[in-house]
Copies of this chain bind each other. A is one copy, B any other.
Amino acid sequence: MSPVARQPGVVQAPADAVFVAEQLRPYLEDLLAREQAAWTEQGAPWPDPPAALLAYLADGKALRPRFCYWGHAIAGEGTGPLLVQAAAALELLHAFALIHDDLMDGSDTRRGRPALHREFSGQHRAHGWAGDPDGYGRSMALLTGDLAFAVASRIAAGLPGPAQRVWREMVDELVIGQFLDLAGTARQDRSDAVARTTTLLKSGRYTVTGPLRLGAVLAGLDELPSDLARYGDLVGEAFQLSDDLLGVFGDPRRTGKPVGEDLAAGKPTQLLACAADLLPPHGQALLALTGTPGFSRSDIAELTDELIWCGARDHVERKARGNVEAACALVDGAALPPGVAAALRSLATAATDRHR
């Protein structure tokens, strides 16, 4: 059906990639073009946030729409407008989460480019506008995140009842996860329980399990089968563990994100929960300094080395790999339509083998 798939001599694009390129992207472009038109009609002479949001959404791997697509493929055929709508809501929810997350963390880069608040402050400086450029950048990013969430909520409200229930739970989990991240950082909590809940709620659930569930209920299932829900949580957790590892040991030129920030803040990650068990006294002393103004760049480098030596990095890497293996075994054992198991296996790897 798709132009991509029909080209002779070209390897057939995966069905989820075709879905994203041919259905989701045009839908999002149209949606935000209409949003921009609505702004102009309301008398807003400068409809910047819808334009900024569209540029923001053009980027990224569309992982959540792809999981949603395969969740739907478990029980349904084809795609249909509701699936596109759900996928768009997921992308907008993700944009909202990233934009507000970068604001909360004060992160200045994302996907190898300035974070949205930095883009807006740059625009302010370039025009020589009035007021504080950084304050303007933060406010505009906050508002663009709000817009993303408003449009996501509006679209989600048009989904059938069971899908709305999944959506509500996913949004609630995301907010709770973000809060645990903040509160655990402030309290320098090193418990494994808080770290695991944070990992799952702040990203794992809305990245993998939630989108799978959303797709499945849209295809008419009462609920996602339990082995696939387990697959989702395993892959979702591994996704965030990989992200945590990249945030400490990654190469910013490849990840497009800053390195060492999570460590300097002392975030409640499973890596640091594990380190609290394994580190020798010198490492423990460094760990106790995270989140304090005295924690220097050289302390970050030293603690990074200590996390390798004490085995915490290996532990988290093994856990992420083990999750992916267990998840793949689950889909192999499940009775799934042809192609779905292979797609879920390949997506589990794509989601956790992350360079950006």
A interface residues (Cβ-Cβ under 8 A, vs B): 35, 38-39, 42-46, 48-49, 100, 103-104, 106, 124, 127, 129-131, 135-136, 138-140, 142-143, 146-147, 149-150, 153-154, 156-157, 164, 168, 171-173, 175-176, 178-180, 182-183, 185-188, 193-194, 197, 201, 265-266, 290-292
Contacts and interface: CB of A to CB of B under 8 A. Distances in A.
Contact of A175 (B103, B136, B146, B179): B146
Max count, chain B CB within 10 A of own CB: residue among A38, A143, A187: A143
Given A43-B193, A45-B194, A265 B180 contact: no
B171 A154 contact: yes
| A interface: dominant SS | helix
Contacts of A173: 42
Chain multiplicity (copies): 2
Contacts of A153: 149-150, 153, 157, 171
B44 A131 contact: no
A119 to B, nearest CB: 14
Given A44-B180, A130-B187, 14 more contacts: A35-B172, A39-B179, A44-B176, A44-B179, A44-B183, A100-B142, A103-B139, A124-B186, A130-B186, A130-B188, A130-B266, A130-B292, A131-B185, A153-B157
Contact of A172 (B38, B168, B188): B38
B171 A139 contact: no
24 contacts: A43-B194, A44-B179, A44-B197, A49-B179, A100-B142, A100-B143, A100-B146, A103-B139, A104-B139, A106-B135, A124-B186, A129-B188, A130-B188, A130-B292, A131-B266, A136-B182, A140-B182, A143-B178, A146-B149, A150-B153, A150-B175, A153-B153, A156-B157, A157-B168
A48 B186 CA distance: 13
Nearest to A193: B43
B290 A139 contact: no
Contact of A142 (B104, B194, B201): B104
A42 B197 contact: yes
Contact of A143 (B104, B139, B197): B104
B201 A143 contact: no
A187 B49 contact: no
| Closest 6 A/B residue pairs (Cβ) | A130-B291, A153-B153, A129-B186, A43-B197, A104-B139, A157-B157
Max count, chain B CB within 10 A of own CB: residue among A106, A186, A188, A265: A186
Given A156-B157, A157-B156, A172-B150, A143 B292 contact: no
Contact of A129 (B38, B147, B187): B187
Nearest to A295: B130
Contacts of A164: 157
Contacts of A266: 130-131
A124 B187 CA distance: 9
A291 B187 contact: no
Contacts of A150: 149, 153, 171-172, 175
